[in-house]
Structures are given as C-alpha cells and as structure tokens.
Structure 1
Amino acid sequence: MPDARTQGREPPEELPDDCTEEAERNYSRRQAPVLFGFRLPLGRQATMLLMGLLIGVAGGFGAIAFRWLITTCQDLAWGPGDTALGRIEAASPLMVLLVPALGGVLVGVITRYMAPEAKGHGVPEVMYAVARKGGVIRPVVVIGKALASAVCIATGGSVGREGPIVQIGAAMGSTLGRLFRLPVNAVRMSVACGAAAGIAGTFNAPIAGAFFALEVILGNFSSNAFGAVVISSVTATAITRSVLGNEPAFQVPAYSIHSPWEMWIYAVLGLLAAGAAILYVLGIEWFEDRFDALDRVPVMLRPAVGGLIIGFVGLFLPQIMGVGYDTIQPMLAGEVGLGMLLVLLVAKMLGTGLTIGSGGSGGVFAPSLFIGAALGGLVGGIAGHLVSFPIGSPGAYALVGMGAMVAAATHAPITAILIIFELTNDYHVILGLMVSCIIGTLVSQRVLKQSIYTMKLARRGIDLKEGQEVNVLRSVQVRDIMRHDMEIVQEQTTFAQLVDRMVLSPHYEFLVVDDDGRLVGIISVDDIRHALPRLSTQGEEFVAADLMSRRPITVRETDTLDRVMRCIARRTYEEIPVLPADGEPRPIGVIRRDDVIRAYNKQMLRADLGGSVSARMSDSTQQRLWAAIGPHVLGQVEVPEVLNGRTLASLHLPARHGVEVILIEHPERPDDSRYELPRGETVLETGQRMLLFGERSKVERLLEQWT
C-alpha cells in the first residue's frame, strides 16, 4: 500500500497524451508563478528552483529570528545569563515553580485565540497539510507558532525548537507558494522547502535538512522536489552561518572504532533505543489522554497545569527544562555519571510528555536527542565495565545514541544518520551509527506502527502509512451504500426452482435461510454451474442446502468499506450479505463489488477536491464560485436557517438538484478538525459552510435559493 503522503502529490500534473505545441505552451503557463497579477515566464523546474531560493532565504532568517525570540523571552522570564540552564539554576525556587506555569497560561491563550495549530510539536500538522490539504498552512501559523513555542521553551517547557521551526518554515513556504498562485503540487513542494530550510538553519546541517523534508514531510525522494529542497536547505544554511557563525550545534568527542566487536554493542544500543522510543511515543500519548480527561480544567489552562508540574520537577532536576542542549554537551564529553544519566533519561521522557500532553508548544526532536545521549552514555559506560576488548568513550556512544533514538522515534533513519554525520564531520561515526539507527528503526516499526509524528494523526483516524485510499474507505459504512433488495431462498428450494429464479434475477448470489430467517449459506452462479454434472444422478432431490456454501462471508451494516474490500479479496462473490449491527444472523441486504468501487471513486473525488479548496474557503469569505472540472464548479454557502438540524441525506441534493456537498467547514473549530467530509447522516447547523460541486447553472441556482 503506498504512503498517503505520495497520494495526490507525485507524479505532478501530466501533459495530455495527444500533446500539441499549443497544449504544451498552455501547460507551461499554468505552472508559471503569478505575482501581483503578472504571470512570470518561467518553466516548471525554474519556478521551483526560484521558490526554493526564496523560501530558503525566508527560512534562514526565520530560524535566526526564532532563536532571537527564544533568547529574548528567556531574558524576560529568568533575567540575563550565559546559558539557559545557568539562568534556571540561579533563579529562586519560587521562580522555578511559577515561571513555567505562567508560560503555560500564555501558550494556552495563543493556541486558543491566535493559532490552534501551534499546539503540540508541529510536524504532524505539516504532514497533514501536505497529505490532505494541498500544502495549505495559514500564514498566521508563522506568528502563532513562533510566539507559543518561544514562550514555552523559554519558560522551561521540556521541548525543542526544531519542530516549531519546521512548522514555521513550512508555513512560510505555503504562504509564498499561494502568493505566487502555484499549482497544488508546487505548493506542497514549497512546504517541503520550508521544512528543509528550518532544519538546515537550526542544525547547520544542509544535507540532513534536505533529506528530512524528503523522507518525513514528502514521504518520497522524488527528483522533481529534490532540486528545490536542496537549494532551500543550502540557502538557509548559508544565511544562518553568515549571521550566527559556522559552529556546529554540539562540540562532539573524537570518535573511532576500537574493535570490530563494538558492532555488537551498537546493535544492543539500537535495540534499547527502540524500546526507549516506544516508551517515549506511548508516554506522550498517555499524557495527552490524561489531560484530555481533565474536564474541570479549561483547555486554555491545561498548559499551565503541565508547566506547574514541570517547575516542581525542575526544583530537583533543572536539566530537563528547556531545549536541553546545555546538558547534552557534558553527556557527549562523558562528564555525567551513570546514575544521573538514568535519572535524566526517565525525567526527560516524563517532562516532554507533560509539556506536550498538557497542550504546550514545542518540538520532540531535541528531547529525542537528549534521551538518546543519556541512553548511549549509559550503554557505553556499562559496556566499558563489562567487556574485555577496547571500546570507545561513553561520549562516543552518547553521540550514536542520539541518532539511534531519533531514528527509532521518527522512523527516519536516513535523516538521523545524516544529522549526526554533519554534527561530527567524521566519516568514522557512520559504521556504528548505521547499525544502531537501522536496528532501532526496524524494531520500533515492528512493535509500533506509527512514528512520533504520525501517532497524533493516527489517533484522529488519519493513517498516512496505509494511504489515502484506505482512509477514504474507512470513512464510509456499509449501511450508506448497501442494497435492500436481495434474493432469499429456503434450504429446501429445489434445483429447478433455483434455476428459474436465477434466470430472471439481476442478482449474482442467492442467500439461503432456515425456517427462522437466519442466514445459513449462499449460492452463486458458479455453484449452479459446478452442480450441473451431478444433476443427472440426484435429479429432483437436489435442493439449495446441497449447493450452498455453508460458511458465507458476511459484513455488518456498521462495518466500513475497508473491511468489505478485504472480504471481497478473499472470495470471488459479487455480492456479500449484510447483517444487522445487533448481531442477529438475519440478512437485511447485500453490498456489491461495483457499489464499493463507485463509492470509493466518489469519496476520492470529494477528498481531492475538498483538500485543494479548503484553504480558499478559510482565506476568503467573499468568493462564492471556483472553476473545477470542465463545466463543473465549486460553490460555497453558509448553511441557511431553513436547513438547521436536517441531515444531508434528507435534502436529496443529487437527485433533486444535481449537486453534491463535498466538504463542510466548521469555522469555530481548530484547524485540524475544521473541515469534514460529509456523510448522509451529517447534521447541518447554522454557522457551518458547505462546499457544493456540480454544473455551474445548478450550483448558482442553489446559491441564490439559500442566500
């Protein structure tokens, strides 16, 4: 099953098969950027390279501005100081306790009133925008995420700055792509360029930034996107180096492989990193569930509760507060004892879970590095006391542990390997790093199907790994498309009667029931054909009970089409009996293979059209019509009072008006749940906005009727 992040994204729009020179020129013009109403005379590749350059500049300066904002907030929260950890250690106990809580209050206000997307660690929102929303990210996210994350990090939240700068850079890329009126695929690639610029500018690692965008954000290594992403990553790195200097994020120890037997230790480190990553991801999920259950605490104040607990832990372990780079450095130098490494490993997991779970804003990448460094230092220190052959220093294992933990948590081993490689500029680190990262990733993927980035989406029913088509099939229930007309026969129905009914019936299968109406078997046309050679011997004694398959595959009316497709794949039946949801084995209808395919195509069209125009609905309340496909248009309208409380099915829009509702917007909801793919039982409410699809005249007629 293909990765959903490649669905609707690659390959880009293709030229028609019967392409003429005029068609090719028209295609190129559609791909060219538009600025202030003027279409720039650039081809597709040149356009994306130019966009990569512009987004790289924006992302580079954005990374610099974000780091300055964090430092400014730290000065305001803790007073001036050399390092973030030093400021916290020098503060009074009352400040350590209250500052994170006050920071949580500010974060709650920002995420409630300015940008709900700023809540959490940011990367899942970017992945969702690329996979489902045509790369659309609201411009306000740049400001909202920067403020929320800077406040959270500066006041002691146990999160990192990499996730926020990815989301900030991606929002910049999305905004520039739409400003130039680029097609959907180009906007998606612009988002990836922004993410690459953010990572590259933060870590001073242009190669890792590019591969992060391709491996994590886009989910593929398309040559169409590679050039623009690399240009963006390199540009952002050049800008940050010119302003902040060419210093790596960490001063790493000298690294070397002392014995081939060390590879076994690195393999063990990979296994342990997988276990730590699984606990890390599930821990964040657990804290989110616990805070969601706090019904008596307003959502806006929950980050303050998490901040208060972080402050209390910080009284004893201030190292877990903030990004944690000041503590990772002594771990790499081997200056932290084994006992303290174990305590910090557990405390950082809990601290990050508290911050993210309570609704704080910040990344999970830096905490992964922190936890990995602590784990690697532990493994290296313990191995040094147990093995007889020479091995590297605990700091060297801490370095590899950072990469292994990132790989296991994010399921992105290439990015993890390249980041550590660029931090060291030493090829010798690759051997042990590759062993740990690959083993950690494989074990983590085997046990936990979702990464730390996709888990949040999976909890909302969005499975990027299984593909958009599976999510679409899971959005439709059997009862929505089942047929109530079916052919039912009794067990004692004779062969002659069966043949007579089958000749006149439009159905492929007959459902066999007992005297109480319970399903006991199914007879298909193939069953009749295979029984013909036996007819001469059994004659009139041949009845339905002799022909039927006694263990028919059935589905419940509440099952999804995903299950139906899996059932169809197991048997060649064209129709599958549908049973009621209460468990009774009495058939209430059938569902046909072609009905499933038709419903799938219809839902895919809805998802594709809805995703590509959802941004236009949020960006403009003025425009009412957009061109779509041929003579068809998309139109938006607020739900009128006359429809309030009615279900969509009760309107019979396709039959009466020739118009489909393909998307419903809930303006009052946060962005991740703002848009809904409607179903028959969807209840309409005033204040919602509907997106209609149909021929222009029919859509315009409805718009006039409802406005």
Structure 2
Amino acid sequence: MERQKIVKQHYFRLILASIAVALASAILAFGLKHLTEYLQHQIFGVAGSYAALYIILPSVGITMIYFSRKYVFQNRKNKGITEIYKTLDQRKEHLPLFKIPSHFINGFLTVIFGGSTGIEVSTVVATATIGNYGYKKEFSARMYKRELICAGVVAGVAVLFASPLAGFLFAMEVIARKIRLSLVISCTVAALSSFLFIRLFDNQTIFNTPVADWNYAAVPFFILLSISGGLLSVYFTLLVTRMKTFFGGISNNFIRVNLGAIAVGLLIFFFPALYGDSYHGLRMMLESPPEGSSATLMLILTLAILKPLAAALTLGAGGDGGVFAPSIVAGAFLGLSFAIIGNTYFGMQFIPVNFALIGAASMLSAALFAPLTSSVLICSLLPGGFMLYFPVFICCFIATATAKKILPYNVYTYDRYVNATA
C-alpha cells in the first residue's frame, strides 16, 4: 500500500510538471512561429521590390548567427536533436539553458533572412530544454527526465502544426524511442494541454486549400510518388552530409559563411519560392494550381530538386534548421509535378492538392524514419486532410522502406544525419 501511494504521488507530480512544461513550450513555439512568419513575410515583400536583396539577405542572417554564437553564446555550438538523444541516453548529460535563446534566435534569423530551412528543429531543441530544466529543478520525481523532455517536444511540435496528435507521435516515435506508462502519461498530458492552447490561440492550419475527395485510379501514381519521395529524401540526406563536410573543411570563417549564404541567395534570386521555409510559395501553388504545360512542369520539378540543395547550403554555411520544412515543401512540389504529368500526358483528372499531400508525407516520413508521425502531421496541414489518411499512411511506409533500402537505418548514420541537419 505504501509503495502504491508513493507511485501515485510521483505520477501526480509528473502530471503537474508536464502541464507546466507543455504550457511554457507552447508559448515559446507560438512566439517563434508567428514572429518568424510575420517578419519573413515583411522582409520577403521588401526584397520583392529590390530583387538583388535576395542575394544578400541570407548572408546577413547567417553572419548575424555567426557573431551571436561567437560573442553572445561564447562559441558553444548547437548540435540539434543529437544533443537530445545524448541527454536522454546518459544520466549525467543535460541540455544547458542557453539552448533556449540560442535556438530561438538562430532559427528565427535563419528563416526571416531567407535561409532555406524552417524553425521546427530549433523549436524541438528549445522545448526539450524547457523539459530538461523542469527535471533539473525537481518539479517532478528525479526519475522522469525523458518524460519531461518529451512533454516539451509534444507541445512545441503540436503548436507549430496545430496538431497535438502529431506532437505526441513525434515525441514517442522519434525522441523517446520507447514506450512506458510514465511516458504515455506525460506525453498525453502535454498533448491535452497543447490542445487547449491551440483551441484558444492558434487553431489555423498552415495551408488553406481543402482536401475534398480522392479516387482509386490515383493509387498507382501514389505508389510511384511515394517511392520517388523516398529517393528525394535520400538525395537530401546525402546533400546535407556532403555540404557539412565541405563547409567544415573551410577554415576561413568569412569564406565559409558567405560562400554558402550567397549560393543560397543566388538560388532565391532566380527562384523566389525557395525563400525561407517556402511555405508561402507552396501556399500560392496550392491555392492556384499551375496549368499543365511543359514549362510549368519543369519549374516545379526544379523547385523540388533545388529546395533540398538550398537547405543543405544554408545548414552548411551555419544556419539553424532541420528537415521538416524542406522535406514538406520539396515533397509537395514533387507531388504537384506528378499530378501535372498524370493530367497532361495520361489524360487523368488528378487533384493537385492530394498529390502535394502524398509527396510531402512521403518525403518527410523517409527523412525522419517516422511514418506514423508524418502521416498524421501532414494530414493536419490542410482542412479535411484526414480524408486522405489511408493512402498517406501507406505511402509513408513505402517511402520510408525505400529510403532504408538505400540508406540503412543505424545509430551512426541517423545521428550523423540529424546532427548535420540541426
């Protein structure tokens, strides 16, 4: 009886601590999301009137990050999700508190000045740090470090994508990598807390184009698209690791920062849709689907190929970011190109938004090796997205299997990739 009482007390403290961590993480994610979105839109609008600014802006952002790391954060590096794994797997390791402002500021600066990534990984590490801080301050029993870190991650991802279920699955599938009752409790409490926060403050999907219907005639194309999404994800993985290696070999800081940043700027100059997280460019294409001409098809395929390259260059030059936004956007562009091919050359009547959703889910799943998370997260991006859940779910598994065949999953490869993309 005494042991049961102690266990109940521990779980009660865990629930309270998870609520506190989730609310703090939700506020951080909300602030970073909307501040970044607003200023990215404003700066992009100004640069649209002076196109040469596209070439310069990424250098401005990444140079500011370089100086903030050197002077504000005293050359302490951000290694992204790898640090979370190290903290979880080694009892004496912790995420230092500076990770919160460091990732917030660096992710923010990267995206608003055009660096072709997103704020998702920055948010994940910052919110994980909030959870780690809650553990260190003994807001719950000393046995619940993994639980509170995951609670923070649940809330961060939930608010970014307006999907508590996606946050829950990401924390369990990608971060925790195990299941136990205490983890389920903390992540469920964080998801419920995030749900209330989202309902009150931020209930809008990232894209507004609704999913209306789908038909079985598209299934063969869905399968081909999912395999292609897996291949595009491997291409992204290899680009990032190669770019990190290449830029890491440049000893001159000025050359390293500006070589990559100006290369990104040149890509944006010719293809403005690559600016920042690129959600704005994708949103426009979903709201006004492009007509099926050869020139349009080549443009969209080019964007699908260049988005991973621009993201890899951004990260290699020293920007802060990860795989989420580049994978979602590149995969969606790939899906749109499949819809155009089917409608133009095979006489089909495919719905472009459906193929964009399948492409985004396939590439993200292959990048994260997380089909459950990716299927729910991507279906949360659009109104009515879950109408397409069954084919999205199947295609996520196909894409992930494709990527694993080419790039086998193991701790070395995955840690190196996550480290490179964070």
**TM value normalised by structure 1:** 0.55
Is the contact between residue 332 and residue 373 of structure 1 (CA under 8 Å) also seen in structure 2?
A: no
Q: Does 1:280 align with 2:226?
A: no
> Which position in structure 1 is the counterpart of 2:351?
393
Instruction: Quote the offset at 1:118 in angstroms.
Output: 5.7
Amino acid in structure 1 at the alignment position of 2:224 = V
The 1:72/1:419 distance shift into structure 2, 3 A limit, reads closer
The 5 Å alignment of 1:428-439 reads 428-439=387-398
> Which position in structure 1 is the counterpart of 2:205?
248
> Which position in structure 1 is the counterpart of 2:124?
166
> Which position in structure 1 is the counterpart of 2:321?
362
- Computing the radius of gyration from Cα coordinates, the structure with the larger value is 1
> Which position in structure 1 is the counterpart of 2:60?
102
Amino acid in structure 1 at the alignment position of 2:266 = F
Q: Does 1:203 align with 2:161?
A: yes
Deviations 1:641-666 (A, max 9, x none): xxxxxxxxxxxxxxxxxxxxxxxxxx
The 1:448/1:183 distance shift into structure 2, 3 A limit, reads farther
1:261 aligned to 189, 193, 217, which one? 217
Is the contact between residue 17 and residue 140 of structure 2 (CA under 8 Å) also seen in structure 1?
A: no
User: Residues of 2 paired with 1:222 and 1:141: CA distance?
Assistant: 27
Is the contact between residue 159 and residue 363 of structure 1 (CA under 8 Å) also seen in structure 2?
A: yes
> Which position in structure 2 is the counterpart of 1:306?
260
> Relative to total residues, which structure has the larger strand share, 1 or 2?
1
User: Residues of 2 paired with 1:58 and 1:292: CA distance?
Assistant: 35
Instruction: Quote the offset at 1:365 in angstroms.
Output: 0.3
Is the contact between residue 257 and residue 391 of structure 1 (CA under 8 Å) also seen in structure 2?
A: no
2:179 aligned to 211, 221, 230, which one? 221
User: Residues of 2 paired with 1:223 and 1:135: CA distance?
Assistant: 23
Deviations 1:421-477 (A, max 9, x none): 2234444301221221110011111211248x97462479x9xxxxxxxxxxxxxxx
The 1:264/1:115 distance shift into structure 2, 3 A limit, reads farther
User: Residues of 2 paired with 1:372 and 1:459: CA distance?
Assistant: 19
Is the contact between residue 70 and residue 154 of structure 1 (CA under 8 Å) also seen in structure 2?
A: yes
Instruction: Quote the offset at 1:180 in angstroms.
Output: 1.8
SS in 1 for 2:144: helix
Instruction: Quote the offset at 1:166 in angstroms.
Output: 0.8
Instruction: Quote the offset at 1:134 in angstroms.
Output: 5.6
The 1:454/1:257 distance shift into structure 2, 3 A limit, reads farther
1:339 aligned to 284, 288, 298, which one? 298
Q: Does 1:176 align with 2:134?
A: yes
Instruction: Quote the offset at 1:202 in angstroms.
Output: 0.5
Amino acid in structure 2 at the alignment position of 1:171 = T
Q: Does 1:59 align with 2:49?
A: no
The 1:44/1:405 distance shift into structure 2, 3 A limit, reads same
> Which position in structure 1 is the counterpart of 2:330?
371
The 5 Å alignment of 1:107-122 reads 107-113=65-71, 114=73, 119=78, 122=80
The 1:96/1:366 distance shift into structure 2, 3 A limit, reads same
Q: Does 1:48 align with 2:6?
A: no
SS in 2 for 1:312: helix
Is the contact between residue 211 and residue 384 of structure 2 (CA under 8 Å) also seen in structure 1?
A: no
> Which position in structure 1 is the counterpart of 2:144?
186
> Which position in structure 1 is the counterpart of 2:95?
137
The 5 Å alignment of 1:86-97 reads 86-93=45-52, 95-97=53-55
2:271 aligned to 301, 307, 317, which one? 317
> Which position in structure 2 is the counterpart of 1:525?
none
The 5 Å alignment of 1:623-634 reads none
**TM value normalised by structure 2:** 0.89
User: Residues of 2 paired with 1:126 and 1:90: CA distance?
Assistant: 42
User: Residues of 2 paired with 1:380 and 1:92: CA distance?
Assistant: 31
Give the gaps of 5 or more residues in structure 2: 291-295
The 1:69/1:332 distance shift into structure 2, 3 A limit, reads closer
The 1:61/1:412 distance shift into structure 2, 3 A limit, reads same
The 1:459/1:243 distance shift into structure 2, 3 A limit, reads closer
Amino acid in structure 2 at the alignment position of 1:54 = A
Deviations 1:615-635 (A, max 9, x none): xxxxxxxxxxxxxxxxxxxxx
Instruction: Quote the offset at 1:182 in angstroms.
Output: 4.5
Q: Please say which of residues 405-414 and 378-387 is displaced more in the overlay.
A: 378-387
Is the contact between residue 307 and residue 326 of structure 2 (CA under 8 Å) also seen in structure 1?
A: yes
Identity of matched residues, %? 21
User: Residues of 2 paired with 1:272 and 1:430: CA distance?
Assistant: 19
2:283 aligned to 299, 311, 329, which one? 329
Amino acid in structure 2 at the alignment position of 1:100 = P
Q: Does 1:70 align with 2:24?
A: no
Is the contact between residue 380 and residue 386 of structure 2 (CA under 8 Å) also seen in structure 1?
A: no
The 1:150/1:254 distance shift into structure 2, 3 A limit, reads same
Is the contact between residue 373 and residue 401 of structure 1 (CA under 8 Å) also seen in structure 2?
A: yes
Instruction: Quote the offset at 1:183 in angstroms.
Output: 5.2
> Which position in structure 1 is the counterpart of 2:293?
none
Is the contact between residue 229 and residue 359 of structure 2 (CA under 8 Å) also seen in structure 1?
A: yes
Amino acid in structure 2 at the alignment position of 1:325 = Y
SS in 2 for 1:261: helix
The 1:189/1:133 distance shift into structure 2, 3 A limit, reads same
SS in 1 for 2:380: helix
> Which position in structure 1 is the counterpart of 2:226?
270
The 5 Å alignment of 1:470-549 reads none
Deviations 1:330-372 (A, max 9, x none): 3334524312111111211110000112221123201110011
User: Residues of 1 paired with 2:324 and 2:172: CA distance?
Assistant: 17
Instruction: Quote the offset at 1:43 in angstroms.
Output: 1.5
Is the contact between residue 108 and residue 302 of structure 1 (CA under 8 Å) also seen in structure 2?
A: no
User: Residues of 2 paired with 1:115 and 1:242: CA distance?
Assistant: 38
> Relative to total residues, which structure has the larger helix share, 1 or 2?
2
User: Residues of 1 paired with 2:135 and 2:50: CA distance?
Assistant: 45
> Which position in structure 2 is the counterpart of 1:678?
none
Instruction: Quote the offset at 1:222 in angstroms.
Output: 2.8
Instruction: Quote the offset at 1:221 in angstroms.
Output: 3.3
The 1:414/1:404 distance shift into structure 2, 3 A limit, reads same
User: Residues of 2 paired with 1:223 and 1:88: CA distance?
Assistant: 51
The 1:271/1:311 distance shift into structure 2, 3 A limit, reads same
> Which position in structure 1 is the counterpart of 2:378?
420
User: Residues of 1 paired with 2:343 and 2:178: CA distance?
Assistant: 40
User: Residues of 1 paired with 2:268 and 2:212: CA distance?
Assistant: 33
Deviations 1:478-534 (A, max 9, x none): xxxxxxxxxxxxxxxxxxxxxxxxxxxxxxxxxxxxxxxxxxxxxxxxxxxxxxxxx
SS in 1 for 2:284: helix
2:340 aligned to 372, 376, 381, which one? 381
User: Residues of 2 paired with 1:87 and 1:177: CA distance?
Assistant: 44
The 1:240/1:458 distance shift into structure 2, 3 A limit, reads same
User: Residues of 2 paired with 1:222 and 1:232: CA distance?
Assistant: 16
Is the contact between residue 250 and residue 329 of structure 1 (CA under 8 Å) also seen in structure 2?
A: yes
Amino acid in structure 2 at the alignment position of 1:286 = R
